[in-house]
Amino acid sequence: MVKRITTLALLLILTGLVPSARGLERFEIITTQELQRMLTERAAGNQDFALVNTLDALIYEHLSIPGSINIPWSRVADLTDRLGSYRNRLVVTYCMGYR
């Protein structure tokens, strides 16, 4: 599981990748270890957040962190509709890293 999280979560930031450094000022970047701690806390019922995989659906089907939902980056505009009950909660997105 740890290797899988490490492989998948090269870069973790809130609400998606933003190409410019200036755009990143609005988001907090977290490490793989921080996400692992958050997932443990969520499993224990101590933390609640939406984990969003921003990769294409085909990749999501084969390589995703258990408990994540898939909203491909090309459909991030639909984020509010897809999050449903998570709308007012912390959102953590992940992909395979910045390219």
90 forms beta bridges with 49
Boundaries of every domain in the chain = 2-94
Q: pLDDT band at 8, cuts 50/70/90? A: very low
pLDDT in tens, 29-42: 889 899 999 999 99
Q: Give the chain's count of helices (H) and strands (E).
A: 4, 5
pTM confidence score:
0.62
User: What architecture (CATH level 2) is domain 2-94?
Assistant: 3-Layer(aba) Sandwich (3.40)
Q: Half-sphere exposure of 91 toward its Cβ, with a 13 Å CA cutoff? A: 22
